Chains A and B, each alone.
Chain A
Amino acid sequence: MADLQDELHPTTEVGALDELPEPFVVAAPAPSPPDPDASPLRRARALLAAHPVADGYCGLLSALRGLPWYDLEMGESALDTDVPRLREGHVGALFWSLHLPEGTPAERALSATLDQLDLVRAVVRAHPEGLRSADTAGEISDARYCGRIAVLSGPAAAAALDDSLAVLRSLRALGLRVLTLSGTSWASGPGLTRFGEEVVREMNRLGVVADLSGASGATVRRVLAASKAPVLCARSGARALRPHPFNLPDDLLAALGAAKGLCMVPLAAEQTGPSVRDVADHLDHVRRVAGPASVALSGTYDAGVAHPQELGDTSGYPHLVAELLERGWPETDVALLTWGNVQRLLRGADFAARAAQLRRPPSTATLAECDG
């Protein structure tokens, strides 16, 4: 049938001359053509393509509990988080919160946390094109090179331990990576008890990262002193800009920076304010006080909080990064903010764990022995 087709691009007969193009005329340099590649949003997208967002707190698991059916790969309007919007927002890794609904009875905390860990596996397995479980910095990078969004398990509530270090070890074996140190007898307002310190040392040995958002100032200081591994605050802004119990005062921000920890600033209107500029103000402040190596991002999507304008779902990160570029953040600092700092934190935690395992056997300390 090919001979019935008209030739779309007739070739020149042999011996005839090809039509030559018009001679190239060098145009006079335009006075100032706006370079579209230089617009902050474009630069933000290009930068995020190389250094995607590692998001410190995603509430997806609890939001999914209320949905009988869902498909994250096709897009899910009932949620702030789904694969298309994660990709649009250049999210490369997510920490999935295992926190329990308010009012979960203490004796159910562990079983409910095991259910959450089970749900992580099930959801990741149900979306193999979009998501991949990861635990280490290397696995996060692997997921990224395979075009998958890395999912890490945690933070979980400390109540899940049921005051047992053996339970902590079992949860680690099931993939738990971050534990929020608040709401127990050994990590509360007055700070860490002796058992609390032993929990931190065992977390160091296992590579479970401490999350101190919501912990008391005394607890934060004791953990910073006791922990051999860097810690994080999974959703904390600057209290100097906005009072909120989870936001950190400047002295703690400075201490966190000195300890190479991470303040992960939430995109939560209640904590940061209602606009992109407000969030950027917090990031500016944390970067100035704690240092560029100690600031990171925390989407807090699907966690039941209101988000600033333009940051209503997981696709909004480029707007925030554009704002930072307009404020003159060097690209290297933006890369640390979105991706590099979380990588460093996880590497630091794993390094500390390997060092501790050479030195320390599994701890058999009990709450009763330590705290009487």
Chain B
Amino acid sequence: MSAPTALERARELLGEFPVVDGHNDLPYALREQVRYDLDARDIAVPQDAHLHTDLPRLRAGGVGAQYWSVYVPSDRPGAVPATLEQIDCVRQLIDRHPADLRAALTAADMEAARAEGRIASLMGAEGGHSIGESLGTLRGLYGLGVRYMTLTHNDNVAWADSATDEPRVGGLSAFGHEVVREMNRLGMLVDLSHVAATTMRAALDTSTAPVIFSHSSARAVCDHPRNIPDDVLERLPANGGMAMVTFVPKFVLQAAVDWTAAADENLRAHGFHHLESSPEAMAVHRAFEERAPRPVATAATVADHLDHMREVAGIDHLGIGGDYDGTPFTPDGLSDVSGYPNLIAELLERGWSRADLAKLTWQNAVRVLSAAEDVARDLRAIRPPSNATLASLDGAEG
């Protein structure tokens, strides 16, 4: 009998310590593709043609808990109702697939789901625009089950700067700090993916609970504003939080970053906005891609980030946040949610121990949520719900 391959060992390990993934945009894909017609995209059967995510592939990928993103765009009105629709979508998915999914609101729920062999389903809101500048609405989202909120998406909010927008308040405004404190009081994790480095540092200054990066990699390995600078990674041990490495090629592979910049420049040179997806713009983009093939990331690219992040933040502060169905392109070997074993196999070959990998896939994420619950329990005893408003803290100017 030959020794088990790295992939076999990875699968065996994931059987015991499945993946907690920090960010999956399946709800938004269902919203955009079929307007929540869940029969048209039945995730109980393979949906390879349309989605990165379905139940058979989640099972094959060894996923044991998923933070479903209830993302809505930040550049148009109606974010609060749209967010409630996204939450309703997740609830319906859970209701439709009770043998595979289990609603999870706490770390204990995650462990219970693992014991039952179901996939713990948590929710994360992606951007402060989802609370309509109201802490009452923030508490409403918590009441509906949202357990993390990314402070911004690609655009600034009035109280926090995004990594991909012009700096405005220099991190967090006074109200932004209050949002962080209220999230601590509730037990909703503060997610610092997408935010400016100044916002990361400001949130780490204020938060008394562990923070997360639901889908961000290391800026020292690949210089992109969506990644985490080393000085911030270094603060995670003291904070107790975690960085969940993302797979998005244009964030993790320097060649892909450069290629994307050139492709965007090419679009602008032809008179299009770089995010435009009209047929004309796509034709220009395809012509560019034929001249210059898109660089391909692999599981090794992601492992390079993890090696570095482990060096800087430590093994207790790492996790995984694939961003599946939130990005059109994925690395080779990690092309959909069935790919996690390939990443674990790569890390095994690099000498990561079984204990290290258990922390990466499962234990750190459970510990972080549990610690946030502990902080919330203490804070609720001494702090009433905050009714601060943007106007009361940041002035009429906002």
Contacts and interface: CB of A to CB of B under 8 A. Distances in A.
Given A118-B385, A162-B81, A164-B81, A170 B87 contact: yes
A3 B36 CA distance: 85
Nearest to B81: A162
B148 to A, nearest CB: 18
Contacts of B35: 364, 366
Interface in A87-135: 107-108, 110-111, 114-119, 121-122
B88 A115 contact: no
Interface string B71-113: 0000001101100110111011000000000000000000000
Given A114-B140, A118-B140, A364-B35, A107 B78 contact: yes
Nearest to B95: A362
B208 interface: no
A206 to B, nearest CB: 11
A115 B134 contact: yes
Interface in B111-138: 131-132, 134, 136-137
Given A164-B81, A164-B85, A174 B144 contact: yes
B386 to A, nearest CB: 11
A118 B139 contact: yes
A169 interface: yes
Nearest to A368: B35
Contacts, number: 72
Interface residues of B, number: 25
A258 interface: no
A164 B79 CA distance: 13
Given A166-B89, A167-B84, A114 B77 contact: no
Nearest to B142: A118
Interface residues of A, number: 25
* SS of A interface (majority): helix
Given A111-B134, A173-B91, A364-B37, A166 B140 contact: no
A114 B81 contact: no
A131 B140 CA distance: 21
Contacts of B136: 111, 114-119
A372 to B, nearest CB: 16
A123 to B, nearest CB: 11
A211 to B, nearest CB: 21
Given A108-B132, A114-B134, A174 B88 contact: no
22 contacts: A111-B131, A111-B134, A111-B136, A117-B143, A118-B139, A118-B143, A121-B143, A122-B384, A122-B385, A164-B81, A164-B84, A166-B36, A166-B84, A167-B85, A167-B88, A169-B91, A170-B84, A170-B85, A171-B84, A173-B144, A362-B92, A366-B35
Given A110-B84, A111-B137, A115-B134, 5 more contacts: A116-B136, A118-B140, A171-B84, A174-B143, A362-B92
Interface of A: 107-108, 110-111, 114-119, 121-122, 161-162, 164, 166-167, 169-171, 173-174, 362, 364, 366
